[in-house]
Amino acid sequence: MLKELMNKVVTSILLFLTVLMPLNALEITAWEEENDEEVSVTFSKTLQIKNVSLDRSLVTPMIILPKDDEIYENLALLKPEISQKILACFEGVCELTNKYKKVSYDLISKRKVKDKNIVIAKVSFDDDISAIFLVSTYQNKNKTLYRVQAPQDFKFLKSSYKKSFRKWLINKVKDLL
């Protein structure tokens, strides 16, 4: 009973804080429940993360993002505000917006993998979510081509956004390849 009361108090506080959040943060534009108590979350009609879950076994519920190959944590929530928005949706009190917003991105870090032609790049989206991308090169008929691999449960929903992001990321890490 105490745990239920604590969850309700925490949820109420989080809902209050969502009203006070900055307007430039990512907005949740779609929430799709999956068969296994996980959800797919769409942000600003641009990005989607599948297989997001909630761990309610703790005093304060915790958002669990999917891991690549169940090992690598290639996705992260960077600010408590975005976690609060997702938590509110899990509690059934989220407000989905229908606004398209251009999501900015910024390179947090980059490093070359030893003895391989791969760069690991960590990128933030609107300073709310980070994702780790692998960028590599290969040769085809004396021409260098680039391959960009996103986390397995991370998806770009707009092809023009994906193309411009890919071009930007390659330019940012090209010096290490």
pLDDT greater than 60 at residue 172: yes
Q: Does residue 129 share a domain with residue 51?
A: no
In a domain, 82, yes or no: yes
CB 170 within 8 A of CB 146: yes
Q: In this predicted structure, what is the pLDDT of residue 10?
A: 55
Residue 95 lies in a domain: no
Kindly report which listed range (94-108, 114-128, 137-151, 161-175) carries the lowest average pLDDT score: 94-108
pLDDT in tens, 120-166: 999 999 999 999 999 999 988 889 899 999 999 999 999 999 999 99
For residue 59, what pLDDT is reported? 85
Are 64 and 12 contained in the same domain? yes
Both 39 and 12 in one domain: the answer is yes
* 99 falls within a domain: no
Residues 19-38 pLDDT 10s: 444 455 789 999 999 888 89
In a domain, 67, yes or no: yes
Same-domain pairing of 76 and 122:
no
* Domain containing residue 162: 105-176
**Residue, of 16 and 4, whose pLDDT is higher:** 4
DSSP 37-80: S-EEEEETTTEEEEEEEEE-SSSS-EEE---BTTTB--EEE-SH
Q: For the whole model, what pTM was predicted? A: 0.82
Q: Which residue in this structure is represented by tokens 């980070």?
A: 130
CA-nearest of 78, 82, 87 to 130 is: 78
Report residue 70 as tokens: 């169940």
> Minimal CA–CA distance to 165: which of 124, 114, 113, 120?
124
Q: Which of 46, 63, 90 is the last residue of a domain?
A: 90
Q: How many domains does the chain have?
A: 2
Residues 49, 116: one domain?
no
The answer to whether residue 133 sits within a structural domain is yes
Quick one: average pLDDT of 64-77?
A: 92
* Statement to judge: residues 22 and 69 lie in one domain: yes
Q: Is residue 98 part of a domain?
A: no
Residue 141 placed within a domain: yes
H or E stretch covering 125 = strand 118-125
- Residue 8 banded pLDDT, cuts 50, 70, 90: low
CA atoms within 13 A on the CB side of 135: 27
**Is 149 part of any domain?**
yes
Alpha helices, H only, 53-174: 80-90, 159-173
Alpha-carbon gap, residue 60 to 154, rounded angstroms: 26
Whether 51 and 115 share a structural domain: no
